Chain A
Amino acid sequence: MFEILKRHEMADGTVVMNEISAPKIAAKARPGQFVILKANETGERIPLTMADTDPKKGTITVIYQVVGKSTALFRGMQVGEKYQDVIGPLGQPTHLEKLGKVACVGGGTGIAVLHPITRALKEIGNYVYAVIGARTKDLLILEDKMKAASHELEVCTDDGTYGHHGFVTDVLRDLLERENIKLVVGIGPVPMMKFLCKLTAEYGVKTLVSLNPIMVDGTGMCGCCRVTVGGKTRFACVDGPEFDGHAVDFDELAKRLDAYKEEERMAYEKFMKERQAG
């Protein structure tokens, strides 16, 4: 169990796709849900939303960006190696509805989370506009898959190296002006989601975001992943990970994500030094 069957480096090599054998989870998982992975005995429990599942093959796919020690450890794991623990599916699945025209907006590795939701929204009969973006061309992932999962796709890069020069929110604004969009699903870095929600609030369009706070158990037991939504404390692991973007306190979320910045930097530097030495 939990063997890596496929491994693929994406973007500039800092984003990695793993297809993992996990039949029980693959059989149950629905779009929007996540798993917790732990590489080895001394590893941390890391939550990742599933980018895809294949119940027939009994596999799940996760895509992660290397940001610290734990993801660097994941990146070093080759085909045939096993995660010691994979737990899931966790969280509430995306509430899927046929609404008409919807927009799915993704940034960075958020596109991986957005992909199954986009596909599902199209499958149940919505007309789906997809907008995906990255800082630069080399960091863009899943363009082909997002093209297939949507009716119309627009790509943006912050530096103009590919597609539209600018932010996903620029393209979304045009779309909101032009089309009668009933729902926006926005998944990406916290600042992106924050500004996207500000924009859709101007147009009064319902907006779903998928949050990625720090977690430990993922089953509602520790309360680590608490986020303020509409002035109330909610647990992203059991109440989420998706919430009404207009009610989320993104500034608090951003701060809580930085809770262990110093420890993470220390652990990462130590890990890289040891790897170079070894």
Chain B
Amino acid sequence: MDEKSAKKEKIPRQPMPEQKPEVRKRNFEEVPLGYDEETAIREAQRCLQCKSPACVQGCPVSVDIPGFIKLIREREFTKAIRHIWERNSLPAVCGRVCPQEIQCEGMCILGKKDRPVAIGNLERFVADREREHGTGDLPPKQHPTGKRVAVVGSGPSGLTVAGDLILKGHDVTIFEAFHKPGGVLVYGIPEFRLPKEIVYSEVNFLERLGVRLECNVVVGRTVSLDELFEEGYDAIYIGVGAGLPRFLNIPGENLIGVYSANEYLTRANLMKAYLFPKYDTPIVRGRNVAVFGAGNVAMDAARTAMRLGAERVRIVYRRSRDEMPARAAEIHHAEEEGIEFHLLTAPKRFIGNESGRVTGVECLRMELGKPDESGRRRPVPVEGSEFELDCDLAVIAVGAAANPLLTQSTEGLEINERGYIVADPETGKTTKRGVWAGGDIVTGQATVILAMGAGRKASDSIHKYLTWGW
């Protein structure tokens, strides 16, 4: 079909084929199944190829979106992925977990009258196609500079910095505290939303480019930043994330069966507790589950609990549906899988039995008052509205704070009153010479793509420093 007739026909946005809810809610396989070539081309034909594309402005790493979509249209799939790699080293990840609806797709001009081009689905398509059928060719590397860079943390921002700098000819080593690379991509985001095989394939791509990876190294404990400089590193990038779980600080929180989302998801994802006893890490398999919070992490925890055999999973959130921070698509997926939403409800205390296991949670009804500093309307408890919810598993997913392990052990690194590292938003430079930082340890908990955007800016700045000086 040529472009003219495509326009005449007015192609609708191509739906993403998905596993059926009643099937997928009991397995850990990926929910969306991906486009085939013809569907991808058909979707690509919807793109208007705008002269000054708004979608690119919406992308934190400025991928040339019309450019790669045009190549898909021309069946030049290999060229398309190479085009994306120029700006984004983790397209298979971004195509899956980026909040496209508020970024590229949110700006798409088609979205004004019709539905926007499915940019995320197309990005995922070319990345998956390359992984499954690609030639394995690597992008060209510049001449070795002899400069050494240490990247602390192998999450999205660290991987971005490593990918950028290895291509510019620097020698890069990533240090990871866990026994597997990927950071939040492997411990936090479940298999059914981002298969681990895809993360390892992206990491493997960096290793093939020459990036060295050292797992089991806790920078701040096993080795300090200053010792890394003594070992001969010329620059250090810190991308350790915001790994400290927040709790509700209510009575009964240490009962067995009350998990932080970090622990619950780490057991389930990284340690593969869903395969227990084939894998040795156990997990409480609740029949009646309450998840506190309503962000993407809460949706992940709720959907994981469902897959681990729960009969009933409830999201308990103290504000209303409008304030829920999760992506609309994630909320929709959760609803399809039978997750219940208990809105305007706040936990007051956990109730346990004699062996110290959680059996329920006392809650309060809330109503919304005036907006607070976050701009969301502040929930106010309705007096005397206490009631009890039964649960044998509770997951607290109300956000994360800065982990002080690295910053405490490092001199000369300024942190703000909330424990986050102070870094220039344009360059990622910290107050310590030769040290950059980016991602959640600077901004607080955010998204994969924003962490990658911070990594991109920092890698440009590190490259300038290694070439011209501080």
Q: Give A contacts to B, CB under 8 Å.
A: 24-25, 28, 38, 42-45, 69-70, 73, 84-90, 216-217, 219-224, 226-228, 233, 238, 252, 255-256, 258-260, 263-264, 266-267, 270
Contact = CB atoms under 8 A, between A and B. Distances in A.
Given A220-B405, A266-B277, A88 B222 contact: yes
Among B177, B222, B243, B278, chain A packs the most CB atoms within 10 A around the CB of: B222
B271 A222 contact: no
Interface in B206-233: 215-218, 221-223
A233 B247 contact: yes
B369 interface: no
Contacts, number: 110
Given A256-B356, A266-B277, A84 B217 contact: no
B467 interface: no
Given A24-B223, A223-B247, A255 B355 contact: yes
Nearest to B396: A223
B254 A221 contact: no
A44 B281 contact: yes
B216 A43 contact: no
Contacts of A88: 218, 221-222
Contacts of A217: 177-178, 266
A45 to B, nearest CB: 7
Given A24-B222, A263-B282, 15 more contacts: A24-B223, A42-B278, A42-B279, A44-B280, A86-B216, A87-B177, A217-B266, A219-B405, A220-B244, A221-B245, A222-B262, A224-B263, A227-B254, A238-B405, A259-B256
B387 interface: no
* Closest A-B pairs by Cβ, 8 of them: A255-B356, A263-B282, A222-B263, A221-B243, A85-B179, A44-B280, A223-B260, A260-B282
A219 B218 contact: yes
Nearest to A220: B403
Contact of A252 (B254, B266, B278): B254
27 contacts: A25-B222, A44-B280, A69-B280, A84-B179, A87-B177, A87-B179, A88-B218, A88-B221, A216-B271, A217-B178, A219-B403, A220-B405, A222-B245, A222-B263, A223-B247, A223-B263, A224-B259, A228-B254, A233-B254, A238-B405, A252-B356, A256-B256, A259-B257, A259-B284, A266-B277, A267-B276, A267-B282
Nearest to B222: A24
A87 B277 contact: no
B253 interface: yes
Nearest to A73: B280
B87 interface: no
Contacts of B254: 226-228, 233, 252, 256
Contacts of A44: 271, 280-281
Contacts of B259: 224
Given A87-B218, A256-B256, A264-B282, A219 B177 contact: yes
A84 B179 CA distance: 9
Contact of A28 (B222, B243, B244): B222
Interface in B392-431: 403-405
Interface string B245-270: 10100000110110110110011000
Contacts of B284: 259
Contacts of A45: 179, 271, 281
Contact of A90 (B179, B218, B253, B278): B218
B255 to A, nearest CB: 8
A70 B244 CA distance: 27
Among A73, A217, A264, chain B packs the most CB atoms within 10 A around the CB of: A217
A248 B223 CA distance: 31
Contacts of A220: 243-244, 403-405
A263 B275 CA distance: 13
A42 B278 CA distance: 7
Among A86, A222, A226, chain B packs the most CB atoms within 10 A around the CB of: A222
Contacts of B405: 219-220, 238
B221 A28 contact: yes
Contacts of B257: 259
A252 B253 CA distance: 11
Nearest to A227: B254
B355 A267 contact: no
A59 to B, nearest CB: 15
Given A88-B221, A252-B356, A222 B260 contact: yes
Given A90-B221, A270-B277, A216 B263 contact: yes
Contacts of B245: 221-223
Contacts of B223: 24, 28
